[in-house]
Amino acid sequence: MTPKRRTRAFVLSMTISFIFPATGAYAQESARDWYNAGKKAVERAKRLKPVGSHAKNVILFIGDGMGITTVTASRILEGQRRGESGEENLLSFETFPFTALVKTYTVDMQTPDSAGTMTAIATGIKSRGWMMSLDPNETFENPVTARNLELTTILDLAERAGLATGIVTTARVTHATPAALYAHSPSRFWEDDTWLTERAKTAAYPDVARQLIDYAEGNGIEVVLGGGRASFLPETVADPEYPQQTGLRKDGRNLIKKWSSRPHTSFVWNRAGFDALIPGKVGPVLGLFEPSHMQFEHDRDTSAHGEPSLAEMTAKAVAILSRNKNGFFLMVEGGRIDHAHHLNNAFRALDETVALSDAVRTATKKTDRRETLIIVTADHSHVLTMGGYAGRGNPILGLVGAKGEATNPLWKQYNRTLDAKRFTALAYGNGIGGAHENQPSPLNEAAATNPDYRQISAAPKVIETHGGQDVAVYADGPDAQLFHGVIEQNVLFHVMVDALGLPGGAPDARTLSN
């Protein structure tokens, strides 16, 4: 799409038509400004029309753990980094014209995990937690019945239809969200043979890393980029980046060597190798940039010895996959949003969300909305909260009342706890942040805005948990209008299948009969 057409699409879908100067001078906003902006938003909404009903390509973005509070706070952070008050900002995908709320429960979990939620998105069927792309009749860690209860995924269908396929993630490529697209496992933890139970070994059930390398639908996955090298290397082989470390595999299999032994394949493990990939001259690409998860964006080494960003991996994947005249399916995961939340570290969770927004912006620039359906959603939420009576433009990572209290005497009264301590705008319902008395004393703005600060939690735990709230889906392109209202999570699969016109969308008959 041309920049001009993209700009029109952006303007069309914006909720508010004006953004005030980068100084965040919201005092300039008059009653007439707000009234006219609201009126124009309604006029634009009346002109909104579907793009079409058939997509050549689908790009599915998953912000792992990116609940609505995370999106709101990240939107503000991105705006404040530009010197604005932040609240008026929109992340790239928030400009998309079609949205819905998504219910994330699984058949056995009120608050779900990523394996169960991604199974719903990948297969169109809600199933159980902790397992990937298996019928809901399967039981956890049962390798005997699993082979007869495998569900067909959107990746399978795309490969069978002759489309190019790709997976990009900042987590391990064997982690639950990416793995649910290509693997079937009664335990999400069986990423390599180290974690297989004795029962699984007796049944010769393949671990997730093996299933990736041996994936045989169509002509195989064309692009896999992320972390997780250790699951592909035997424990006798040193890691190429950290020679003091070795692989995890106990079966002696060197899966990277197996991948590289095939014609025209490429394997890369750092930024230099990634940059050397020329889309028009490479075959299938496997890029594994860390032994485990990739670095947080804030900590990422950007040198030739380091790692590419999520936006850079997205751009490379789109360029490679676009060579297929039949189209492509690509899943891009901002996997470390979730990990930062589990650590009660709001800074990195929001920073990773902004990085995902950058990747979405990159994808929109490199595709045509008339032929590419772009979907942005989350697999589940987290227990992040945003509260207190903070003034407009209050630093989102800072103390409530850091800005604005002088203009309203009530704010000073309400922005203290019963023990007269200050508190941050962001907090967690549970986790390792600990209770108020365990926070730095005194808790000042410098401490609260430190990237390593862990926000307070109401219920101390070893690790913060997921949240059971609905998440949002944002979409643009063909069939994007099918997202509206409140939907079940498995509906995402069916929209993608419909948009691509894929045949054989149903799972095997043996599973439908149960």
152 neighbors 217 (Cβ within 8 angstroms): no
Encode pLDDT of 66-102 as tens digits: 999 999 999 999 999 999 999 999 999 999 999 999 9
Q: What is the pLDDT of residue 26?
A: 52
Helix (H) or strand (E) holding 428: strand 426-431
| Residue 46 belongs to some domain of the structure | no
| Residue 280 belongs to some domain of the structure | yes
Tell me the average pLDDT of the chain: 91
pLDDT at 25 over 60: no
Q: 399 and 493: one domain?
A: no
- CATH number for the domain including 292? 3.40.720.10
Q: 138 and 225: one domain?
A: yes
53 catalytically annotated: no
Lowest mean pLDDT among 91-95, 434-438, 494-498, 506-510: 506-510
Q: 298 and 438: one domain?
A: no
Lowest mean pLDDT among 94-98, 305-309, 388-392, 428-432: 388-392
Domain boundary among 443, 460, 477: 460
Domain boundary among 460, 481, 496: 460
pLDDT at 514 over 80: no
Catalytic residue among 13, 114, 187, 322: 114
Q: 191 and 333: one domain?
A: yes
| Residue 3 belongs to some domain of the structure | no
At 151, the amino acid letter reads: L
Share of the chain above pLDDT 70, in %: 88
| Residue 83 belongs to some domain of the structure | yes
Say whether 268 sits in a helix, a strand or coil.
strand
Structurally, the chain folds into a number of domains equal to 2
Q: 396 and 340: one domain?
A: no
Encode pLDDT of 419-471 as tens digits: 667 889 999 999 998 776 667 777 889 999 999 999 999 999 999 999 999 99
| Residue 351 belongs to some domain of the structure | yes
Q: What is the pLDDT of residue 463?
A: 96
| Residue 52 belongs to some domain of the structure | no
Q: What is the pLDDT of residue 513?
A: 43
For residue 417, what are the domain limits? 388-460
Q: 329 and 472: one domain?
A: yes
Q: 356 and 493: one domain?
A: yes
C-alpha to C-alpha distances, 177 to 24, 86, 94, 292, 335, nearest whole angstrom: 38, 31, 22, 15, 8
Instruction: Produce one character per residue of 81-118: b if its CB has 16 or more CB atoms within 10 Å, e if not.
Output: eeebbbbbbbbbbbbbbbbbbbbbbbeebebbbbbbbb
Q: 302 and 411: one domain?
A: no
466 neighbors 177 (Cβ within 8 angstroms): no
pLDDT at 15 over 60: no
Q: 263 and 299: one domain?
A: yes
pLDDT at 172 over 80: yes
Q: What is the pLDDT of residue 8?
A: 38
| Residue 488 belongs to some domain of the structure | yes
| Residue 148 belongs to some domain of the structure | yes
